Amino acid sequence: MTWRLDCGDYDLFVIEDGYYWRDPSDYHPAATDRDWRFHQRNDEGNVRLNFGCYLITDGERTLMVDAGIGKEVARSQPGMVAGLMPQAVDSLGISRESVETVIYSHMHYDHIGGSHEDGRIVFPNARHVFHEREWSFWKSAETEFAKAAQNIMLPLLDQDRVDFIDRDTEFLPGVTAIESFGHTPGHLSVTMLSGGTRTFIGGDVSNHPFQVEHPDWSLPVDNDPEAAARTRHRIFEDLRATGSSFVAGHYPMPGIGKIATDDGVRVYQPKSVSAV
């Protein structure tokens, strides 16, 4: 499914690339049923976890943030639905060839796997943007995540489609990739400032709504748990203070909400947005 958020001069489309079902009891040892209150459950009591990515357009220029997990990676994961992003972009009437930039929050395969479909680059004319610290780390590591990243990156590098940045960088007026390290060494988020609106696309700054209340609850996928916790706390405080919209790809779809205070506690408040 796809959802639209009005962001001043821009339309932000939240695209669900896929999802899977997971037993919540093995996700974080301190999490309670209340912490899972935003999530849909199936008849077995498993919760639905999502893979989100984003399209930003002003009607003339278009960019993506992340590309989802994609079909090829998901084929090895029984029961997973994935690879929905390319068809979702088509359904918006937007040519894949018109996408000029894809900003990747990081190189975990559930964010970069969708850059390819059936052996072809999904956005063939786009520059594919990563932080230089990200590739510097993953290109020489030997973990499952690293090997997947290397395999996915190779065709992009071979075709000279990759740009590396080493600082906060604006790609469209008011649309800026910003450093938000911790989850991975070169993690990026994206801020959108336009028409009096402020929207923060978090990537994996936070993987779960319970981290708004408990920013120190890191998950095993955090490369540097202490740095990730500091980044979450800093960003959530900023979002609460500014009233900005917060968008998170692994939160229950569409993953759009606000960070607010409820009875003295910082909480996530989801926003109801209609699907398109």
Model confidence pLDDT, tens digit, residues 107-117: 999 999 999 99
Q: Which tens digit of pLDDT belongs to each residue from 86-122?
A: 999 999 999 999 999 999 999 999 999 999 998 899 9
Band of residue 178 on the pLDDT scale cut at 50, 70, 90: very high
The whole-angstrom separation of Cα 90 and Cα 208 is 29
Domain 2-270 sits in CATH 3.40.50.2300: no
The whole-angstrom separation of Cα 60 and Cα 99 is 10
The whole-angstrom separation of Cα 69 and Cα 1 is 15
For the cut 90, the answer to whether the pLDDT of residue 70 exceeds it is: yes
Q: Which amino acid is at 68?
A: G
Closest CA to 115 of 165, 68, 56, 52: 68
Closest CA to 169 of 122, 197, 132: 132
Q: What pTM did the predictor assign?
A: 0.96
- List the domain boundaries for the chain: 2-270
Which residues have a Cβ under 8 Å from the Cβ of 256 and sit 6 or more positions away?
3, 5, 14, 245, 246, 247, 270, 271, 273
